Chains A and B, each alone.
Chain A
Amino acid sequence: MKTSQQTHDQALAEKNQDLASLLEKKYGQWLGQRFFEVSSSAQSSVVHVNVTIRNADKSFFYPIEGRINFEDQDLGQQEARDFILDYIDAYIEEFLAGGEETYLPIDWANYDCEGLELQLRGQILNVKLEELADQLMGQSIFKN
């Protein structure tokens, strides 16, 4: 028997999967072999959303993160999540349609939109290379 929390988590995961698929349909022309992943969470009064554009081997891995203190700004949790997603989507359009030359700050930065404040950050990573480097660093340089 599933707990209500598990049911809620599953519904959210399905919703995020639908969103990722919608984003792929919307921006198909610019994606090539890349795809979207969406996740979201809420802790106390802060909603956090992560939309990642990536390819299968993670040599292109771009997590775009947004967060908002929804209680401070008189928003419901769902409303806050939608608001961040809307803003991130606007950024994604600018990023992809503008030749992938518009970047976000690496660390959290404040943005104002329609009188509401949110924070965004993002960094394009080559996770594949990082993992490879970690593996190499982990190996002993001295052969037995």
Chain B
Amino acid sequence: MADRLSEDALIRSLDSGWRSLVWRDPFSSKNKLLVQTVDLNAILHAENPEDLAQAVPRRDMYLALVAADPEEALEVLPLLSDEQFVRIIDNEAWKDGHLAVHQAIRWLDLYKHLGAEQLYKRFRQLDEEYQVALLNPYIEMVDEDAFEKLPQNEQDTFLALPCNTLWWKVKGGDDKIQEFVTSLVSASMSEDAAYVYSLLGMASMLPPNEQEALLKQFRDARLEEDGFVSLEESLDLFAPFGAGKDLLNKWSSSQTDQSSAMTRADSGSVLFIDSVLRKAASSGVADSVAVENIQKGFAYLANAVSAACQVEPDDVSGLKSLLQQVKCMSSFGLDVLSKGNDDKAVEILFTEFPKVVFRFALSLFDGIRLEAISSLKAQDEKLANKIELYWRSGKFGAALWLIEKNLSGKIDPESVEILKGLFNRFPMVKDEVMTDDKIWRVRFRPVATVSDYESLVSDVRRIFSVSEQEALQ
């Protein structure tokens, strides 16, 4: 079977926690955009558009450009600062930890449309390592002696530099790269010939991948500023959380003034966390900047889990899904810690880091997961031990695959799905069974409230009470 359609590939997909199970977020949320909206049109029509554009935080500008219509985005591109443009390339021009040259060219080509000078200017504003790494695999340069030794047909593929003692060509036969490099060299030559000699020389001489490896370190450090932590740190967010009890005790014993102006008219369609923040802003308990910072904190948390969930920094739709998951989970954690008290919830939000609330919420599933494992042990000890091992070592995809492979046909399909929801990276509860004459599918929703959690617990307990009864019969 093909690599992408192998068991391993499926396990990897299940391990993401958000791609393979069918789920929907039933809550309307104001923070699904990941950042504050940037009004590019207002920037373009301002008196000093360049200053205004460059004042926008780098990640916000990148997301605004990706979401904007191409014409508007094209007009904003010349206004960007070096750092803003480098951040675009940091986000877009990497795939699986390697430089994706075609993606970088896609952005640089936009500058080509704005004029040769713009292309030269932007390319040169990139880090030196970027400039060399983008060309490094494709440039071959020879001196006069080497050129003379080449057969005629090979010589024809080289272009002479103005000195007529050095020749260069684009290797690899990729038309897109050929066209881009040729435009870049021609645009740069008319601006600064010495730069072209130096750039082509370095690109052809430096060992392959050296610049890319160096660049990756700089890029990773820059992305960490936006919350995109390393894979290890990202996986740690799903690791066992030992401070759960202490946190619960801390907030259970804390006294909050119950007579404050904040009263929550609970709405089933709004997430607890959003409702609390809205009330905090409208009642003057917190100013709008403070509330925005809290919202931003959750966007950063979504970025932080992205490496574990296999989402690249340029996958805006994937990041939105992660934001929905982390917000629902954190909202559940907040609900438990505050016992549904809005005032206490605000205090918690302004005291604890979002990741602490998130990890606390995840730790609340340890009990029911253990209960399921122990019930399963009565039926198939080996399988239960394996699932426990995978769960505890953070291999959620492998745990889900084991459940699917070993329990399908032994217990009813709905129960298999419920158990998969329980052991998913983001635990989820059954929302509904979708069915017509061609499909049968369980759709989940993230556990966002105490009642969601209770539904999940009761679904899981029902599975094992049914199987115990069947075993007795």
Chain A residues engaging chain B, CB cutoff 8 angstroms: 19, 22-23, 25-29, 31-35, 55-56, 82-83, 85-86, 89-90, 97-99
Contact = CB atoms under 8 A, between A and B. Distances in A.
B439 A35 contact: yes
A49 B317 CA distance: 29
Contacts of B10: 22, 25-26
Contacts of A56: 436-439
Interface in B277-320: 315, 317-318
Contacts of A85: 2, 4-5
Q: Which of A25, A29, A32: most chain B CB closer than 10 A? A: A29
5 contacts: A22-B5, A55-B438, A86-B4, A86-B5, A97-B318
Contacts of B318: 97
B13 A26 contact: yes
Nearest to A86: B2
Contacts of B3: 86
B2 A26 contact: no
Nearest to A35: B439
B19 A90 contact: no
B23 interface: yes
B22 interface: yes
Given A22-B10, A99-B317, A28 B20 contact: yes
A31 B19 CA distance: 10
Contact of A28 (B436, B437, B441): B441
A31 B9 CA distance: 18
Contacts of A83: 2
Nearest to B440: A35
B163 interface: no
Given A55-B438, A85-B2, A89-B5, 12 more contacts: A23-B5, A25-B404, A26-B9, A27-B19, A29-B22, A32-B22, A35-B438, A56-B436, A82-B2, A83-B2, A85-B5, A99-B317
A132 B292 CA distance: 52
Closest 4 CB pairs of A and B: A82-B2, A86-B2, A56-B438, A89-B4
B426 to A, nearest CB: 12
B175 to A, nearest CB: 11
Contacts of B317: 97-99
Mostly helix, strand, loop or mixed at chain B's interface?
A: mixed
A29 B4 contact: no
B23 A29 contact: yes
B18 interface: yes
B20 A26 contact: yes
Nearest to B434: A33
A108 B5 CA distance: 24
Interface of B: 1-5, 9-10, 13-14, 18-23, 315, 317-318, 321, 404, 434, 436-439, 441
B23 A82 contact: no
Contacts of A97: 19, 315, 317-318
Contacts of B438: 35, 55-56
Nearest to A37: B438
Contacts of A25: 10, 13-14, 20, 404
A25 B404 CA distance: 10
A33 B443 CA distance: 11
Given A33-B434, A86-B2, A97-B318, A26 B439 contact: no
Nearest to B14: A25
Nearest to A93: B4
A28 B5 contact: no
A28 B9 contact: no
Nearest to B20: A28
Contacts of B23: 29
Contacts of B19: 26-29, 97
B439 A33 contact: yes
A55 B439 CA distance: 9
B1 A82 contact: yes
A31 B436 CA distance: 14
Contacts of A28: 19-22, 441
A83 to B, nearest CB: 7
A105 to B, nearest CB: 17
A113 to B, nearest CB: 12
B454 to A, nearest CB: 25
Nearest to A79: B2
Contacts of B437: 56
A25 B437 CA distance: 18
Given A26-B10, A29-B23, A89 B439 contact: no
Contacts of A29: 18-23, 321
Nearest to A78: B1
Contacts of B434: 33
A86 B18 CA distance: 22
Contact of B20 (A27, A35, A86): A27
A23 B5 CA distance: 8
Nearest to B18: A29
B103 to A, nearest CB: 13
B9 to A, nearest CB: 7
A99 B321 CA distance: 12
A90 B18 CA distance: 18
Contact of B436 (A27, A33, A86, A90): A33
